[in-house]
Amino acid sequence: MSNWPGKFVIGLTGNIATGKSVVRKMLEHLGAYTVDADALTHRAYAKGAPGYQQVIDRFGKWLINKDGEIDRSKLGNLVFNDSEALAQLEGIVHPLVRQATEMLIKRSTQKVIVIEAIKLLEGDLRKVCDSIWVTNATEDIQIERLMRKRGLNHDQAKERIHMQSAQSAKVAVANIVITNTGSFENLWGQVSTAWKEIVPASAAKATETEQTLSKIPVTTNGTFTVQRGKPKHSPAIAELITRLSKGKRNVTVVDVMEDFGEKAYMLLLLDGKMIGIAGWQVENLVTRTTDIFLEEHVNPQKALEVLIKEVERASSELQSEASLIFPLNELATQDELWKQLGYEKRTPETLGVQAWQDSASETLVEGSALLFKQLRQDRVLRPI
């Protein structure tokens, strides 16, 4: 068993573009608490984090960009062709990631933990896992995904794939292999089946209870209820977002189904009819709400109070440090309303913490506002 009594730990790995993050998010939907160890690696040497000065002392100030952060591309180029430099970087970062992972797991309330890491099998994290899951895909599919999602050409994509250790070696030691070469429904079916097979009955039962409790309607003034969206709600979600975004978001059922591999949806109902929605995700301990819409006839103050409160409650279960909301249309202009909910308009560069800035910059689009609220003061990977 793992180092944490009462918890079952799944180690999730696989090579680039095989779908690790999608599977991790699906396991989160099933009730697991998930840790992205690779994202924590970047946090470990961000400005203000405990690894920042160590990396500079070892490799030099030339790595610092104009914002005072360590330039990841420069650092990556440095260690790419130098195995000794890579080992030295990992010697700084890996202990910090391990400490942060342990902190997150100890304070989590979920019974099942998922640790996603590209080098899970090569490091100490493997030793704390009760089960090893590996995502798998053919090289042709990996190349296609890298070209489509990351804008690489064929040769660049192939080079990225061949930079990593053999996928077959990972598959050989796996307890569970998830083959990600088909549809979202097929992948979801594999993950759900594996979850039922591999997770101990006691932990699964406890998680299912937590999930059931979280789906009990949250009622305000006897009219509004909030429930967690499921894939079966995809047609209604697609229609609502497309209509209420007034042409800024043209969403299909397929889009929503794919989105369930990245985010969750909170559905706001009025007397059983869906009248609002919030599409949100917690990545790198930051909540991003990117799809937030209400029917025009709904009182926005009362509706948002219920909807945002439920997103924040669910985010707190995932130990989110900050909430970022990106409203469109009329909701983006409701400054006083958002202020009452504890949010303020900001720009990415004013957020202070690099992980928060990165999340904001990656998500902010033309026509949307950025609203910020800090959810907790105790952050991981603070300087000691």
State the CATH number of the domain containing residue 105: 3.40.50.300
Largest CA distance in the chain: 64
Same domain, 149 and 257: no
Residue where one domain finishes, among candidates 172, 207, 242: 207
Q: Quick check: is 202 in a domain? A: yes
pLDDT of 181 reads: 95
> Which of the listed residues 185, 207, 229 is the one where a domain comes to its end?
207
pLDDT by 10-residue block (mean), the chain, 384 residues: 81 96 94 94 92 96 93 90 91 93 93 94 89 96 94 93 92 96 92 86 49 39 82 94 90 92 94 93 96 92 94 96 94 94 96 93 92 90 58
Do 16 and 161 share a domain, yes or no?
yes
Position 380 in a domain:
no
Q: Are residues 293 and 147 in the same domain?
A: no
Per the domain annotation, does 383 fall within a domain? no
Spatial separation of the C-alpha atoms in residues 242 and 240, rounded to whole Å: 6
Domain annotation covers residue 172: yes
Asked whether residue 115 is domain-assigned, the answer is: yes
The pLDDT value recorded for residue 329 is 84
Note whether 116 and 222 are same-domain residues. Answer: no
Which residues, 6 or more positions from 147, have their beta carbon under 8 angstroms from its beta carbon?
Answer: 153, 154, 157
Residues 102 and 203 placed together within one structural domain of the fold = yes
Residues 197 and 224 in one domain: no
Domains held by the chain: number = 2
HEC profile of the chain: CCCCCCCEEEEEECCCCCCHHHHHHHHHHCCCEEEEHHHHHHHHCCCCCCCHHHHHHHHCHHHECCCCCECHHHHHHHHHCCHHHHHHHHHHHHHHHHHHHHHHHHHCCCCEEEEECCCHHHCHHHHHCCEEEEEECCHHHHHHHHHHHHCCCHHHHHHHHHCCCCHHHHHHCCCEEEECCCCHHHHHHHHHHHHHHHCCHHHHHHHHHHHHHHCCCCCECCCEEEEECCHHHHHHHHHHHHHHCCCCCCCCHHHHHHHCCCCEEEEEEECCEEEEEEEEEEECCEEEEEEEEECCCCCHHHHHHHHHHHHHHHHHHCCCCEEEECCCHHHHHCHHHHHHCCCEECCHHHCCCHHHHHHHHHHCCCCCCCEEEECCCCCCCCCC
Q: Could you tell me the residue range of the domain that residue 187 belongs to? A: 8-207
Q: Is residue 381 part of a domain?
A: no
* Cα 178 to Cα 166: distance, rounded to the nearest angstrom: 16
Q: Is residue 1 part of a domain?
A: no
Q: Assess whether 350 and 252 both reside in one domain.
A: yes
Do residue 41 and residue 146 come from a single domain?
Answer: yes
Same domain, 347 and 249: yes
Query: Considering the entire predicted model, what is its pTM?
Result: 0.88
Domain boundary among 168, 184, 207: 207
Pairing verdict, β 8-13 and 131-136: parallel
Say which CATH number the domain at 301 has: 3.40.630.30
Give dist(CA 126, CA 173) in Å, integer: 11
Residue 174's pLDDT is: 96
The reply to whether 165 and 312 lie within a common domain is no
- Is residue 242, in this structure, part of any structural domain at all? yes
Q: Which two tokens stand for residue 1?
A: 């068993």
